[in-house]
Structure 1
Amino acid sequence: MPVLTFRLLHRAALAAATGALLLGAAAVPAQAAGGAPAGFHPELDFAGSTVAAHEGRSGSPVQTLTVTQTKGMDVSSWQGNVSWSTAAANGARFAYVKATEGTSYTNPYFAQQYNGSYNAGLIRGAYHFALPNNSSGATQAAWFVNHGGGWSADGKTLPPALDIEYNPYGATCYGLTQSGMVTWIRDFSNTVHTRTGRYPTIYTTTDWWTTCTGNSSAFGTTNPLWIARYASTVGTLPAGWSYQTIWQYADSGTLPGDQNYFNGAYDRLQALAKG
């Protein structure tokens, strides 16, 4: 079976399973040993793994964007060993790589993906898949930074990123109140900043952000926005941000993993990496 077809079939199955969990979950599900959710499947969780099931897909970008866009991608263990030379030849200029999830998972392909993208000339960064009901924001940030979520001013490393989206294990907002979620994100963000000198990029969707943070505007002046929306336009952004830094516009395409645009020319991408 072609890889793309298999991936799409898998996404459909995962979406169905996620929907069933949401219908049956009135509260946060039981936790397995070590604080991980029951049925923990971190190899299936990645930036956007829950988005299409909740928000759907309505086409690839067709608009003429007002500034030059720079093509990129994001990957996780789902992609395995990536052919980075091929990705670069197909136009990829940057990549975000899943490093960690919760406080127990590290991507077994992280070294191949993170170092391989760098060696192929891409500007790369690491991201953390958040489980806010698993442990505190500070605890997860420390796990992340200790397992690949660092930063250096080499001009080739993007700010560490926080992937916070629909809960693949149960209640959409992980059982947190809106104010509790804002506090969790702030603790994660501040810890990453203290440890690395950079505030993390925040990956999310406008719908999830509005539902689970009350559309908080608290992070727009410090944290770059990585917005997910599989449509012809980026749409309304969460409060506090007047523009997106990165737009994840599709969950499949010519590049491995998800398809992204950095909102600017390549020299602006370099400037983001340099801080």
Structure 2
Amino acid sequence: MRIPGVISFLVASLCLAGCTSTASVDALDLQKPSNETTSSVIRPPAPIAAVPAAMAKNASKAEMAPMADIAPVDKDRPFGLAEEETVAFPAPELPDNAEPTVEPAALVSPPRLLSRAAPPMLAGPVTRYGFRDAKPINFGRGASPRHLAVHGVDVSRWQGNVNWDKLRAQGANFAYIKATDGGDHLDPMFTRNWRNADAAGLKRGAYHFFYWCRTAGEQADWFIRNVPKVEGALPPVIDVEWNGESSCKRRPSREKVLEKMQVFMDKLERHYGQRPIIYTAPDFYRDNLRGEFLDYPFWVRAVARHPAKVYPDRKWLFWQYSGSGLSHGVTGRIDLNVFHGDERQWRAWAGGRISVADAD
């Protein structure tokens, strides 16, 4: 009498296990990366924005500087553009183990205009350099970034509550603000920084830290969903670098890196009507970008030697020359950057009237 009952129990258990297994497989399928390739993006018949021709000139075949000439990453500063997993100066209210929060509304609603539309030109005159540096570098006679007129900063949650008026008064004319990384992380200070930088009269732009374990299309969609399309904003930035501290240990081939970058940049260019700027560091540039993307503006990190020595075959638009800047507007250190041109060229480029080449 008990045998049929046992058999029924076993059959029911197997069915339940089968359902559970199927549910697990479905969950895994949802997380599979798509087979997205560059060809999946339909390119516009003509460039959306004027291509900085200074970046489009054929690069020379000069050899890269030996690795001994490239400064190691400063362990006392955030990695690259303040990548979240390696920062040393968290905001007091954000402990080291805190994870970036994601605004639920960003997942289901279109981008919100976080502030008034900025005019095409600068809100005020260029403020001269007034920063201090905890680790100043002698870049050589005539090569100091101080000889260039227009300085700025890049910030993320790790700078905490920024006093933008003080930062502006000390010499920040522009700010690149961390917006997103990967396909699901939104910097919790982005909205506040985006509004307040504009209110203080800085030209502002947003950057995305590229995550090599997510598809490019997902990441582009996430950035577009969270970064407003605002008149007068600086072009968006894709931050590409190797980060040994990241949870993603994948290092795609050069071919795959270029493909993913192109997909991401095509989507942003179509949406914002501006050609994205590529930020990179020496090792990533050496492995992937030398001789590539000649019609894109570059923002290069070179904190020990002049970019001409670290990137001898590359025209550049912005130079990140220090990760140890000091300002009355922030607690701790801040990345310092400079525009490659004089005040007239800056106003013309930032206002969208001429390309970088025309300014040279």
Q: Fold-level match, TM-score > 0.5?
A: yes
User: Which amino acid in 1 is paired with 2:234?
Assistant: L
1:59 equivalent among 122, 137, 144:
137
Q: Which aligned runs of 4 or more in structure 1 are off by greater than 6 angstroms?
A: none
Given the two structures, how large is their TM-score scaled by the length of structure 1?
0.71
| Structure 2 gap segments, 5+ residues each | 1-73, 87-96, 102-134, 353-360
User: Equivalent residue of 1:209, what SS?
Assistant: helix
CA contact (8 A) 2:179 2:223 kept: yes
Between the aligned partners of 1:10 and 1:238, the Cα distance in structure 2 is 26
Between the aligned partners of 1:73 and 1:64, the Cα distance in structure 2 is 22
User: Equivalent residue of 1:163, what SS?
Assistant: strand
Q: Where does residue 228 of structure 1 map in the other structure?
A: 301
CA contact (8 A) 1:217 1:238 kept: no
C-alpha spacing 1:42/1:209, structure 2 compared with 1 (3 Å): farther
Q: Where does residue 79 of structure 1 map in the other structure?
A: 159
User: Which amino acid in 2 is paired with 1:251?
Assistant: G
User: Equivalent residue of 1:144, what SS?
Assistant: helix
Q: Where does residue 254 of structure 2 map in the other structure?
A: 178
CA contact (8 A) 1:82 1:112 kept: no
What's the CA shift for 1:68?
3.1
C-alpha spacing 1:9/1:189, structure 2 compared with 1 (3 Å): closer
User: Equivalent residue of 2:217, what SS?
Assistant: helix
C-alpha spacing 1:185/1:58, structure 2 compared with 1 (3 Å): farther
CA contact (8 A) 1:209 1:238 kept: no
Q: Where does residue 205 of structure 1 map in the other structure?
A: 281
What's the CA shift for 1:62?
4.3
Q: Where does residue 196 of structure 1 map in the other structure?
A: 272
What's the CA shift for 1:81?
1.3
User: Equivalent residue of 1:252, what SS?
Assistant: strand
User: Which amino acid in 2 is paired with 1:273?
Assistant: A
Quick check: 1:143 aligned with 2:222? Answer: yes
User: Which amino acid in 1 is paired with 2:335?
Assistant: D
- How is 1:146-161 mapped onto 2 (pairs within 5 angstroms)? 146-148=225-227, 150-154=228-232, 157-161=233-237
Deviation string 1:193-216 (CA, Å, 9 cap, x unpaired) is 1111112111002321221x2x34
Between the aligned partners of 2:231 and 2:344, the Cα distance in structure 1 is 15
Between the aligned partners of 1:63 and 1:270, the Cα distance in structure 2 is 27
Between the aligned partners of 1:190 and 1:164, the Cα distance in structure 2 is 15
User: Which amino acid in 2 is paired with 1:144?
Assistant: F
| Structure 1 gap segments, 5+ residues each | 1-6, 19-38, 44-56
C-alpha spacing 1:253/1:58, structure 2 compared with 1 (3 Å): closer
- How is 1:70-109 mapped onto 2 (pairs within 5 angstroms)? 70-109=150-189
What's the CA shift for 1:191?
0.7
CA contact (8 A) 2:281 2:300 kept: yes
Between the aligned partners of 1:62 and 1:254, the Cα distance in structure 2 is 22
CA contact (8 A) 1:140 1:188 kept: yes
User: Which amino acid in 2 is paired with 1:59?
Assistant: I
What's the CA shift for 1:9?
5.0
Q: Where does residue 120 of structure 1 map in the other structure?
A: 200
CA contact (8 A) 1:151 1:159 kept: no
C-alpha spacing 1:125/1:197, structure 2 compared with 1 (3 Å): same
What's the CA shift for 1:164?
0.8
User: Which amino acid in 1 is paired with 2:259?
Assistant: T
Deviation string 1:219-265 (CA, Å, 9 cap, x unpaired) is 121x21110011141223275x3x21111011111344201111112
Q: Where does residue 324 of structure 2 map in the other structure?
A: 252
CA contact (8 A) 1:151 1:158 kept: no
CA contact (8 A) 2:211 2:248 kept: no
Q: Where does residue 29 of structure 1 map in the other structure?
A: none
Aligned residues: 224
Q: Where does residue 187 of structure 1 map in the other structure?
A: 263
Between the aligned partners of 2:254 and 2:320, the Cα distance in structure 1 is 24
Q: Where does residue 351 of structure 2 map in the other structure?
A: 274
Between the aligned partners of 2:187 and 2:193, the Cα distance in structure 1 is 10
CA RMSD of aligned residues (A): 3.1
Between the aligned partners of 1:201 and 1:65, the Cα distance in structure 2 is 23
Between the aligned partners of 1:181 and 1:140, the Cα distance in structure 2 is 14
User: Equivalent residue of 1:251, what SS?
Assistant: strand
Q: Where does residue 69 of structure 2 map in the other structure?
A: none
Between the aligned partners of 2:212 and 2:182, the Cα distance in structure 1 is 8
Given the two structures, how large is their TM-score scaled by the length of structure 2?
0.56
User: Identity of aligned pairs, percent?
Assistant: 30
